[in-house]
Structure 1
Amino acid sequence: MRKQLLLVLLTLGLWIGLTETQTTYAQFGGPPGGGPGGFNNQDNGRKKAEFTGVTDDAPKGNGKIAGILVDSTSGKPVEFATIALMNVKTNKPIDGTTSDAKGSFSLSKLAPGEYRLQYSFIGYKTRDSKPFTVVKGTDLNLGSIKLPADIRMLGEVVVTGNAALIEEKVDRLVFNADKDITAKGGDASDVLKRVPMLSVDLDGNVSLRGSSNIRVLINNKPSTIVAANVADALKQLPADMIKSVEVITSPSAKYDAEGAAGIINIITKKNTLHGLTLNVDAGAGLRASNLGLNGSYRQGKLGITLGGFGRAMYNRASSTLDQTTLSGGQSIRTSQAGTAFDKPIFGQYTLGFDYDLAKNQSLSANVRYGTRNFIQQQQQLTSTFANEALVNMTNRDVNRKDLSNSVDMNLDYVRTFKPQQEWSISTQYSRTGLTNNYFADLLNNSTGILTGRQQNLNNNTNQEVTFQSDYQTPVRKNQLLEFGGKAIMRQVDSRYQYLVGGSSGELSLDPTNPAGSLKYSQNIAAGYISYTYVTPSKYTFKVGTRYEHTGITATANENTPLNIPAYSNLVPSINVSKGLKGGSTLKAAYNRRIQRPGLQQLNPNVNTANPLMIMTGNPNLSPELTDNVELSLSSTIKKTYLNAAVFGRLTNNAISQVRIPGDTLLGFAKGSIITTFQNLGVQRTFGANVFFNTNLTSKWSLNGGVDGYYMYMQGTTAGVDGKSVTISNSGISIGGRLMSQLQLNKGWSAQVFSFFRGPNPQLQGTMGSFYMYSLGVRKDLASKRGSIGLAAENFVGNGVTMRTTLNSPLLSQVNVNHLYNSNLKVTFTYRIGKMTFEENRRKSRSVSNDDVKGGEGGEGGGQPQQAAPAGGRPR
């Protein structure tokens, strides 16, 4: 399979190279490498003829006119655009030129007369200047001319009056996070709380429209640390470095087929300055402190970046747990009071470079090292009742250590033949090592004397190698063709063992829980084709399909093969948008997605850090399939932008958490509940969301929204007589957010943010509601080289309380969590170095793996007394 795929990729690259040399000059303006459209500077006469339809036979004089073309939204130069000199009387072009790499253009030797200029370029609206008169000696400088994006070509609407907040494209919504004050000094999860359609629970787990089956990318790239634990990976990424967040609810065929609800792509800030710079970001708070240093050097064709970020957190939580199980006709009730103190430390260090091999070729490479040191101290006081009679009381002191280190390395090459026509090759190596251990002291409830000890050791490695090649080319002016291939080779190794000891403290292997291991290899071969067509009536169609073949080899306990068959999937996607009058846009989409199980669901390690809430994976899980449909309308009414959408999801073979009573024959405590994963029946979700943004004044903005969904789930679980029974559950969940920003005089600004999420239905119960809010102010320093800010979070009361309930024929549970997350923080940023803006650098391509199901943290409910399952997720 690997040899065949590499041969396909090699053939694809050779075909592209041959195709480009044979492309007709009449269509693309000449061979590549000679300048804009393939022209060199010595072909100026032919360039004018092909771009404007005129030759050097135009009337001559001594008049001159010049200007600079810039993008109306970003202000960046528009290079290689066409500028035609039109005769006002005849309305015919008589001269012309193109803009250079800085957007500049000039026309000289103009004869006296009445003229106007016409500017045009792919992806922008054609624009005409006002008529002007040229007389003898005229030397006219028009300054900067703004070109607006062509909605028909780009399929996007930019928010009027506040382009820095929301952009809507044919398949995604872009939230620009640059001006977020209260998130400053925080991490990526603090930013994602502000993004429309996303929810972030108290543990940092992210869901989109009620589903945690999403893919999270960083700069279009995956990472094995994200595969291991999305919530922890987001804590490693500083909020100050995030430029924007893309919510892709209807991914095209170009994206990997996984991520049932969609994809979240976090774009970090890229230094576009010229020279040597150093940015310092620091913050100190009651719950967390951070320090970041980021330097860059750019000179000529070479750019180098080096950065480091560290964040230390400290928080406490408490919980109560009451649960009842039926075992052998006997009712066992357990009650537990738990406290926890968290001391996580996160770090991230990056080194990158990019180099322009030629005007139309670039090479980029990056190395990222991430580390996590999560230490939690727990105390668990548990009482067990049989038929309401007290039979046992236990006291446990538990120390959890979740440690990880990850390395991501990528090398990317891009060649641009002309605007929108490019070929890229991307490679990536990613490896994460994870350690998930707990150590428990068993104490006498009355005297506190040590009576025994338990320990679980779980070490994991998650490694992947990716090769990817993509090609895109315009087909005429209103069509775009994209296709490519990809190979992913993944290897996961998880090993675990259990130790027990008596009051002496000496530990030995637990005879009732033998050691075990899981080796899991996954190879994926994929190919896709996507086609975009824009009609004269402002319809944009983006259709495509992707084929993926997945082969799996798995072995448990060194020599026991797991029979997991290979599978193939064809996943189509359709995105349609229509530009309406008044700047409104109507969009409709359909796509099919697959969701492969991750290691958190597969890992057979039995984690008993809390003996009442035991967690283990299921190595025999198979992927789930989801069909998605979406319809949305966006419009700008005066100073207010509105976006409304309805959506539906139908998932078969859904991977869900299932709770069953602990089996005393396996050595589990009476009254315990085991949480594992199974492929269950169906899951249907229907919902809607509304988002708005308005400018109350030129310095005061308000935005927010409401979203809700109805979910129906059906599956099987153990019944009273030992046979499987079918159970179902349904419910409605509603949430909303509100954020306001105010720009004050003398560099002062303020922001307020609030968020609420209602109860969330689960197969066996309901996860409780939660909320959060924050208030922040910031003062820019002289010359805007830095800023100092103050922010407060959840400052009224004593933290957030969340209540989760579970019910099935054999068990019931009520879990109440209280998180003391009030926070006050001071932030400081400063920029050092000589900086001048350089011309827009050519963007690079990179590997984008987004195809593995994460842990269903949204169902976990954020339980401080519960040890998380070990291991990373195979990707």
Structure 2
Amino acid sequence: MKTNLFLITTLLLVGSLLTPGQAQSPTIPPSAPAKALPGTAGDQSPKGSARIVGSVMDSTQAKAVEFASIALYTKATGKAVDGTVADEKGKFTLTKLVAGQYDVLVSFVGFRNKTITNLTLTDGQTLDLGVIKLSSSIKTLEEVTVVGQAALIEEKVDRLVYNAEKDITSKGGDASDVLRKVPMLTVDLDGNVSLRGSQNIRVLINNKPSTIVASSVSDALKQIPADQIKTVEVITSPSAKYDAEGSGGIINIITKKNSLQGLNLNVDSGVGNRGSMLSLNGNYRKGKAGFTLGGFGRAMYNTITKTNLDQTSQVNDVTTLTRQSGNGNSSGLFGQYNLGFDYDLAKNQSITAGVRYGVRNMLNQQDLVTQLFTNNTLVSTGNRNVDVKNLSGTVDANVDYLHTFKPQQEWSVSTLYSRNDLTNNFDANLFSGSGELTARQRNLNKNVNQEFTLQTDYQTPIRQNQLLEFGGKAIFRQVNSDYRYLLAGPSGGFTTEANNTLGELTYHQNIAAGYSSYTFTTKNRYTFKGGLRYEHTFIDASTREGGSLGIGDYGVLVPSVNASRTFKGTTLKLGFNRRIQRPGLQQLNPNFNAANPQNITIGNPRLNPELTNNVELGVSKSIGKTFINATFFGRVTNNAITQVSQPSDTIPGAIVTSYQNIGRQHAYGTNLFANVAASSKITVGLFLNAFYTSLTGQTMGLDGASIEQTNNGFNISGGTFMNATFKNGWGAQAFGFMQGSQVQLQGRQGGFGFYTIGVKKEFNNKKASLGLAAENFLTNRFNIHTVLNSPLLSQVNDVYLYNRGIRLTFTLKIGKMTMEAPRRKAKSVNNDDVKSDGSSQTQAGGGSTGGQSRP
């Protein structure tokens, strides 16, 4: 934060050097100086036709020095005659220069000044100074040690950026371990992500969507190694440029990249009592071309779960009590393999292409003992052994083109093809109370989700402090889901069950969208960003049994307004936006999932989209060595999609959970974050998320008629973390998190806790490291206690998770690289629309349902 203040102060002072018509970042306006220098608007020096161009880079890192100051001095008199400021890519241009001899001074706070002498210009000449490398000053390095830790969180007009590069405890883990530490986010023990209590969010990886993310956010996060994550962007108030989907907001995970010349190979590995991983990532760059090839594999094992369930249902004046206990375990293999290519077609044009393949094999096994009581009399006892297979393979392929005309004026065309083949099956063996095999069951559910996207975007600066963006997008999606429910005796073949359990869903969803966005920055540091987006959705959905579902097309107009002001180390932000949430395949899929016949899930293919209005007010401030961020928000959702449970009419004691547009959902709350640089070596962080929510929907009353049900209450979560660095390459981290119970329409879902501590030792000039991390080592298990109630049912579900763990990690970097200026890559497709299931609960026998696929 302090660095940002230095940036702005420097810009305000150097703004006096700019001549009319010179390029400048549209987000940082010039300011009237106390004294004008020759060559400014206040000086009538003659102008010529020569130009000087170049770029400024940090000599120790492959990244630009944003907004560096460039001053031009005449060789004869030594007086400053012109000047400018580099843009956010480090590039600068001096125009209309008179022929002669000059010196150029490049400076920026935190770096040593650099002077380039004896430059000779002739009329009409363009002199390219190339890449100018600035080295850090010793004095500033001491300050940056403190400021850099305070800048763990960065504020932008429409988002919060969490810098996750130095995470010891997450090494050997996955993306969910990193997201747990991000302000405003909550990640449960299954990996489901919430933003301010809403799981209706969109998760992007390097600004790109993927059908694996659409199928299951939690499973997608398991495929991303934690140590490959550079930053996490939490976009709570998306501009019109983003898709309208995601009523809670957008999370963009940026992975580490480099612009190094040469060949290198990074090896990351880890082994623990509950999981192991191995990652190999190679990069090769020569001249204008670059290649990346990577692979990541992760195995999970020894994941034990115990469950206890008591549920009471009432149907036709008959009360049935179901009592279950279960023991289960799960194992899984996750993999991600990618091949990337980029090439500079010209100095201002580039093309990027990539192919990524992801694989997920999750196996869940559970043994259940079930007792049924009717009117307080035991009527049956049975055992059930269930094996669930949740398998998927995902392919993403993209080709992107970018043409940069001048700083911040660019045009891009992006394409993306994505396919996800998802299998979610289970086999169950049924035993009598005496242990005799009595029957077998099998549920087969095959899903294919395909989409193709074509997108074009254009942006251009207007004058010196304004930016205009507009573009269009087309998305073509098709989802197919085949499902069947089979029965068999103790031996022999399977036959299809008669009661409507053989079917197919075909769902076509095409979206046409256009947007325009405008950014304006004033001299006194106000920034305004407003936009308007229109999306029209065309739907053609049908089932094998019922034919067309008759879901109509619909359009939505989505406005967004964001404003910010920075003064005296304080930044204020105010934002409003409207979002749409389309139902995903998990909500639509009519497959009768009865891995546990007493807890059945089934989708609702006739769901309508939900609309949400969001407003937020944020403030952030640096006070000495402490950075504080507080955000207050309100969210009103109409036609909200949520889970609703009802007693089964056909299976005694069973509860059927489906999805409905319940009506209204309100949420109001705050997110607080504080980061304290206790010393140049130690940083401590605290965060708190608290909000009040109210849900109103329709459930079934005792007489069978629909009645209104309302539930409300507070949801609170928070945690703390500590980072420490020591001499000789030693470092340590600790993290703890607690989430309270969460309000649902029919009750509350239980809370949980999570904590971890780790140490790391770096060797060989940071080319190798060895780390050790332990998690939940003081507690044998966590109990997630969930209670649901309605006039016709009550349910108490206790899930005991045994997740005490320890892991050892090792990293090795091979190869000799040389640095070059960072390249501007072609932009990629950014489909910001998914309805994450997220509301799934681990129930006795429920197993894994495979999440959802985006329609």
- TM-score, normalised to structure 2, is 0.88
1:284 aligns with 2:280: no
Matches within 5 A, 1:580-599: 580-581=567-568, 583-599=569-585
Q: Distance in 2 between matches of 1:840 and 1:165?
A: 22
Q: Deviations over 1:676-696 (max 9, x none)?
A: 000011000000111011110
1:390 aligns with 2:370: no
Q: Distance in 1 between matches of 2:168 and 2:110?
A: 38
1:643 aligns with 2:633: no
Aligned length: 797
Matches within 5 A, 1:179-198: 179-198=166-185
Does the 8 Å CA contact 2:293/2:338 hold for their aligned counterparts? yes
Shift of residue 110, structure 1, vs aligned partner:
9.0
Does the 8 Å CA contact 1:81/1:98 hold for their aligned counterparts? yes
Corresponding residue to 2:149 among 142, 162, 182: 162
1:707 aligns with 2:689: yes
Q: Distance in 1 between matches of 2:834 and 2:500?
A: 30
C-alpha spacing 1:77/1:390, structure 2 compared with 1 (3 Å): closer
Amino acid at match of 1:779: K
User: Which secondary structure does the structure 2 equivalent of 1:776 belong to?
Assistant: strand
C-alpha spacing 1:624/1:125, structure 2 compared with 1 (3 Å): farther
Corresponding residue to 1:246 among 205, 208, 233: 233
Residues 230-239 or 860-869, more deviating = 860-869
Q: Which residue does 1:144 correspond to in 2?
A: 134
- Structure 1 runs not aligned, ≥5 long: 1-24, 30-47, 59-64, 135-141, 148-156
Does the 8 Å CA contact 2:111/2:136 hold for their aligned counterparts? no
Shift of residue 873, structure 1, vs aligned partner:
1.9
C-alpha spacing 1:77/1:596, structure 2 compared with 1 (3 Å): closer
1:325 aligns with 2:313: yes
Corresponding residue to 1:268 among 235, 249, 255: 255
Matches within 5 A, 1:220-231: 220-231=207-218
Q: Distance in 1 between matches of 2:340 and 2:116?
A: 49
Q: Distance in 1 between matches of 2:764 and 2:191?
A: 36
Does the 8 Å CA contact 1:321/1:337 hold for their aligned counterparts? yes
Amino acid at match of 1:628: N
Matches within 5 A, 1:730-809: 730-809=712-791
C-alpha spacing 1:351/1:89, structure 2 compared with 1 (3 Å): closer
Does the 8 Å CA contact 2:509/2:538 hold for their aligned counterparts? yes
Q: Deviations over 1:42-65 (max 9, x none)?
A: xxxxxx99999866999xxxxxx9
Corresponding residue to 2:329 among 318, 341, 362: 341
Does the 8 Å CA contact 2:216/2:850 hold for their aligned counterparts? no
Q: Which residue does 1:679 correspond to in 2?
A: 661
Shift of residue 175, structure 1, vs aligned partner:
0.8
Amino acid at match of 1:679: N
Q: Distance in 2 between matches of 1:866 and 1:456?
A: 13
Matches within 5 A, 1:442-481: 442-446=430-434, 448-481=435-468
Amino acid at match of 1:404: S
C-alpha spacing 1:131/1:872, structure 2 compared with 1 (3 Å): closer
Amino acid at match of 2:846: Q
Does the 8 Å CA contact 1:70/1:146 hold for their aligned counterparts? no
Q: Which residue does 2:498 correspond to in 1?
A: 511
Q: Deviations over 1:595-651 (max 9, x none)?
A: 000000000001000011100000000000000000011000000000011100000
C-alpha spacing 1:513/1:863, structure 2 compared with 1 (3 Å): same
**Identity rate, percent:** 55
1:663 aligns with 2:649: yes
Does the 8 Å CA contact 1:67/1:143 hold for their aligned counterparts? no
1:404 aligns with 2:392: yes
Amino acid at match of 1:576: A
- TM-score, normalised to structure 1, is 0.86
Amino acid at match of 2:397: M
Q: Distance in 1 between matches of 2:815 and 2:45?
A: 48
Shift of residue 92, structure 1, vs aligned partner:
7.1
Q: Distance in 1 between matches of 2:691 and 2:849?
A: 29
Amino acid at match of 1:253: A
Corresponding residue to 2:616 among 614, 630, 637: 630
C-alpha spacing 1:567/1:73, structure 2 compared with 1 (3 Å): farther
Matches within 5 A, 1:486-635: 486-557=473-544, 560-581=547-568, 583-635=569-621
C-alpha spacing 1:52/1:790, structure 2 compared with 1 (3 Å): farther
Q: Deviations over 1:141-167 (max 9, x none)?
A: x982789xxxxxxxxx99934266221
C-alpha spacing 1:394/1:818, structure 2 compared with 1 (3 Å): same
Does the 8 Å CA contact 1:83/1:118 hold for their aligned counterparts? yes
Residues 71-80 or 711-720, more deviating = 71-80
Q: Distance in 1 between matches of 2:573 and 2:541?
A: 43
Q: Which residue does 2:853 correspond to in 1?
A: 873
Amino acid at match of 2:197: G
1:215 aligns with 2:202: yes
User: Which secondary structure does the structure 2 equivalent of 1:846 belong to?
Assistant: coil
Shift of residue 662, structure 1, vs aligned partner:
0.8
Q: Distance in 2 between matches of 1:51 and 1:422?
A: 32
Q: Deviations over 1:262-288 (max 9, x none)?
A: 000001111322111111111000100
- Structure 2 runs not aligned, ≥5 long: 1-18, 24-38, 119-131, 138-143
Q: Distance in 2 between matches of 1:757 and 1:102?
A: 43
C-alpha spacing 1:191/1:118, structure 2 compared with 1 (3 Å): closer
User: Which secondary structure does the structure 2 equivalent of 1:349 belong to?
Assistant: strand
Does the 8 Å CA contact 1:67/1:144 hold for their aligned counterparts? no
Q: Which residue does 1:361 correspond to in 2?
A: 349
Amino acid at match of 1:364: T
Q: Distance in 1 between matches of 2:452 and 2:791?
A: 45
Corresponding residue to 1:830 among 793, 812, 824: 812
1:654 aligns with 2:640: yes
Amino acid at match of 1:333: L
Shift of residue 797, structure 1, vs aligned partner:
2.1
Q: Distance in 1 between matches of 2:310 and 2:400?
A: 54
Corresponding residue to 1:375 among 363, 366, 386: 363
C-alpha spacing 1:102/1:225, structure 2 compared with 1 (3 Å): closer
C-alpha spacing 1:245/1:143, structure 2 compared with 1 (3 Å): closer
Does the 8 Å CA contact 1:458/1:871 hold for their aligned counterparts? no
Amino acid at match of 1:472: Q
Q: Distance in 2 between matches of 1:350 and 1:67?
A: 34
Q: Which residue does 1:437 correspond to in 2?
A: 425
1:697 aligns with 2:674: no
Q: Distance in 1 between matches of 2:42 and 2:348?
A: 20
Does the 8 Å CA contact 2:501/2:592 hold for their aligned counterparts? no
Corresponding residue to 1:814 among 796, 821, 843: 796
CA RMSD of aligned residues (A): 3.4
Q: Distance in 2 between matches of 1:128 and 1:347?
A: 45
Q: Distance in 2 between matches of 1:200 and 1:326?
A: 35
C-alpha spacing 1:507/1:706, structure 2 compared with 1 (3 Å): same
Q: Which residue does 1:39 correspond to in 2?
A: none
Q: Deviations over 1:332-353 (max 9, x none)?
A: 0010001111011111100000
Shift of residue 513, structure 1, vs aligned partner:
3.9
Amino acid at match of 2:841: G
Q: Deviations over 1:518-557 (max 9, x none)?
A: 0000010000000000011211000001000001000111
Q: Deviations over 1:279-324 (max 9, x none)?
A: 1111000100011111111100000000111101011111100000
Matches within 5 A, 1:45-84: 69-70=56-57, 76-78=63-65, 83-84=70-71
C-alpha spacing 1:737/1:80, structure 2 compared with 1 (3 Å): closer
Does the 8 Å CA contact 2:62/2:820 hold for their aligned counterparts? no
Amino acid at match of 1:200: V
